[in-house]
Structure 1
């Protein structure tokens, strides 16, 4: 009888600790989900320049926003006059669209770009437009 009681106690203790481990894992997972920014979970969509669209001098539009990898920028513009070139820091600073196989130039008038972690640079590749301020630098966390 004592052996049966001891075995029952061990089974009880074992299942209680197993349940405790599961509960602890669930609590840890819930806390982790709260710590992950919403953008990581699915990304937020931003319309560049809001209702005005892709244009010059967009520092006002960037103010107060925090971007995350996975967020999507939507560039709306008149495709007859503008485009969106995804460039590196050098192309951004020089207002030059590199002529290589890795350069992406979008021309639909409604382009969507998913941000990658780090600095993301965009310029209008039409002559003189970037120099006139039609460029955007976005840091994504």
Structure 2
């Protein structure tokens, strides 16, 4: 009887792993700004999109002309980069969304103020 119970528990664990992998495989990849990429005036780009935790945002831009900085709400609202912030600079940056609000700005002077900022809320 103990062996039957052990097999059933193994099957339950396998089902949980399967559904966990299924959830990971359903992540969607979005290109920020669509064909225009990460540039000025993209702040409205997330409107109407339904993001979920694990979705990936791709920031395409000419390396050296812009960057991507994940910030908190204060950094987003003030267009300021907190000291020690991670900064992406490759021009083809991939960022995975966390559950809740996710904020990104361009850290180059005046770029955020010109609309290079997005807020994406992930369920």
TM range (shorter): 0.7 to 0.9
TM-score (norm 2): 0.78
Q: How far 1:58 sits from its partner (Å)?
A: 2.1
Cα offsets for 1:77-106 (capped at 9, x unmatched): 011210000111110011001013xx1100
Instruction: Tell me, in whole angstroms, the C-alpha distance in 2 between the residues paired with 1:82 and 1:73.
Output: 16
Q: Does 1:78 align with 2:69?
A: no
| Distance across 1 between alignment mates of 2:44 and 2:74 | 23
Tell me the number of residue pairs that the alignment of Structure 1 and Structure 2 aligns.
108
- The CA distance in 1 between the partners of 2:116 and 2:46, in whole Å, is 14
What is the SS of the residue equivalent to 1:125?
Answer: coil
Query: Which residue is 1:25 aligned to?
Result: none
Q: Distance in 2 between matches of 1:63 and 1:94?
A: 21
Structure 2 residues not aligned, in runs of 5+? 1-7, 9-14
- Structure 2 residue aligned with 1:128, among 100, 110, 123? 110
Give the CA RMSD over aligned residues.
Answer: 2.2
Consecutive unaligned residues in structure 1, runs of 5 or more: 1-21, 23-28
Q: Quick one: which of 41, 53, 64 aligns to 1:69?
A: 53
Deviating beyond 3 angstroms after TM superposition, the runs of 4 or more aligned structure 1 residues are none
Maintained 8 Å contact 2:43/2:115: no
Q: CA deviation at 1:59?
A: 4.3
Structure 2 match to 1:3: none
Q: Tell me the TM-score normalized by structure 1.
A: 0.69
What does 1:1-141 align with in structure 2 at a 5 Å threshold? Answer: 40-42=23-25, 43-100=27-84, 103-141=85-123
Choose between structure 1 and 2: higher helix proportion.
1
